[in-house]
Amino acid sequence: MNSLKFVFSRLLGAVPTLLALICLAFFLVKAAPGGPFDMERSLPEEVEANLRAAYNLDDPLPKQLLKYIGDIMRGDFGPSFQYRDFNVTELIMSGFPVSLRLGGAAILIALFFGAIIGTIAALNQNTKTDYLVMFFGMTGISIPNFVMAPLLILLFSIFLRWLPSGGLGGGEINNMILPVTALAFPQVAYIARLTRGSMIEVLSSNFVRTARAQGLPTRTIVLKHVLKPTFLPIVSYLGPATAAIITGSVVVEQIFGLPGLGRYFVQGALNRDYTLVLGVVVFYGCLIIFFNLLVDIIYGFIDPRIKSNR
């Protein structure tokens, strides 16, 4: 069956990317000067030697790499050097749900609002509405989220006292509103711009002219002829969008004090917790690759030109 072959070939294509990611991250972390024990008081040589043996740190690098990959496949990311009582897998599992809620909400909001705003702008091209939207778009991509976040806190928490300024607070929605907004804002702006550009291009294409000549009302033309070609590039953008949200979450979690993966990563980096840092990078990397793969496959099923060439 062609569909199966298509999915399979895409899956196959993702594997080298995955491997490259793991190798790169691994060697980068290993190449860092200073070992995992440098932060501690200097340990007696014997103890250090034992610890190193326990963590396989004396084995040749490629061997360590293979062992690491094997461990990952079993879900074992290794022990955390910083949080002695936990291993990395546990830390990831505790931090990820927080980040997932944050990032997931941000992407959905970005998609929903971005698409709607962009569509409105495109359908009202060169009117006041359009300029307003474009200005908003420009603002969104020009104000970084680490600038927006404190500003939001300043306005809504300190000034107006409507919303809490940080912390999970037991997971209430109130605590999520500001962080999600800060995270989603630049993406809403970007997707709005993308949608607007895409739709304007589609609206000026010849087949839309044909549809108008066929007496179809604007509403029908937009719904039937324009939506699909407009949003195909947006679907492609979802991959990089996820990556951007993940990156942005690092800062947003920091500012709002949310115990997500991003925050663990930064702490780990500053505290030289190599396994944690490596684990987070690999985890997030896999997530991005997986998501890109998903988007790719979905795209292949939606775009008829690829569908028929399968």
Partner 1 sequence: MTTKVTTHTNSLLGDAWNTLKKNRAALVSVTTMATMIALVIFGPLLSPYAVDQTDWYQISSRPNLASGHIFGTDDLGRDLFVRVMYGGRVSLMVGIVATIVSVIIGVTYGSISGFIGGKTDALMMRVVDVLYAMPFLFFVILLMVFFGRSILLIFVAIGAVNWLDIARIVRGQTLNLKGKEFVDAARAGGASTLRIVFKHIVPNLLGLVVVYVALTVPQVILVESFLSFLGLGVQEPMTSWGALVNQGARQMETSPWMLLFPAMFLATTLFCFNFIGDGLRDALDPKDRTREEE
Partner 2 sequence: MLSVSDLSVSFKTRGETVVAVNSLSFRLLENEVLGIVGESGSGKSQTVLSIMGLLESNGRAKGSAVFKNKEMLGLPEQELNKIRGNEMAMIFQDPMSSLNPYITIGDQMVGVLKQHKKQHKKEARERCIEMLDAVRLPNPEKRIDGYSFELSGGMRQRVMIATALLTNPDLLVADEPTTALDVTVQEKILDLILEVRERFSMSVILITHDLGVVARTCDNVLVLKNGTKQEYGNINQIFYSPQAEHTRELLFKSKELSDAQAITKTKTIENPNVCIKNLSVFFPVPKDGLFSKQQHLKAVDNLSVEINKGEVLGVVGESGSGKSTLARCVLKLQKPSNGTISAFSNDTLKMNRKQTKEFRKNIQVVFQDPFSSLNPRMTIAETLNEPLKVFFPKMKQRDSARAIANWLDEVGLDAGFLGRYPHELSGGQCQRVAIARALISEPKLLICDEAVSALDASIRAEIIELLLKLKRNKKLTMLFIAHDLAVVNKICDRVVVMHQGKLIEQGETKKIFQHPVNQYTKDLLDSVPVPDPRLEKEKYLRRLGNKAKYF
Binding residues (CB under 8 A) for partner 2: these are: 5, 205-207, 209-218, 220, 224-225, 228-229, 232, 303-305, 308
Query: Quick one: which H or E segment has residue 280?
Result: helix 274-302
Please give the residue ranges that form the binding site for partner 1 (CB under 8 A). Answer: 16-17, 20-21, 24-25, 28-29, 31-34, 138-139, 141-144, 146-147, 149-151, 153-154, 158, 239-240, 243, 246-247, 250-251, 254-255, 265-266, 269-270, 272, 277, 280-281, 284-285, 288-289, 292
Which does residue 292 bind out of partner 1, partner 2, none, counting CB within 5 to 8 angstroms by kind? partner 1
Residue 111: CB minimum distance to partner 2, A? 20
CB burial class (10 A; 0-12, 13-18, 19+) of residue 213? Answer: exposed
Nearer to partner 1, 180 or 251 (CB): 251
Residue 160 near residue 127, CB atoms below 8 Å:
no
Q: What is the distance between the terminal CA atoms of the chain, rounded to a whole angstrom?
A: 10
Residue 9: CB minimum distance to partner 2, A? 8
Residue 112: CB minimum distance to partner 2, A? 22
For every residue of 190-216, DSSP letters joined together read HHHHHHHHHHHHHHTSHHHHHHHHTT-
121 closest CA partner among 134, 105, 136: 134
Residue 284's Cβ-side half-sphere holds a number of Cα atoms within 13 Å equal to: 26
Nearer to partner 2, 93 or 232 (CB): 232
Residue 19: CB minimum distance to partner 2, A? 21
Nearer to partner 2, 63 or 224 (CB): 224
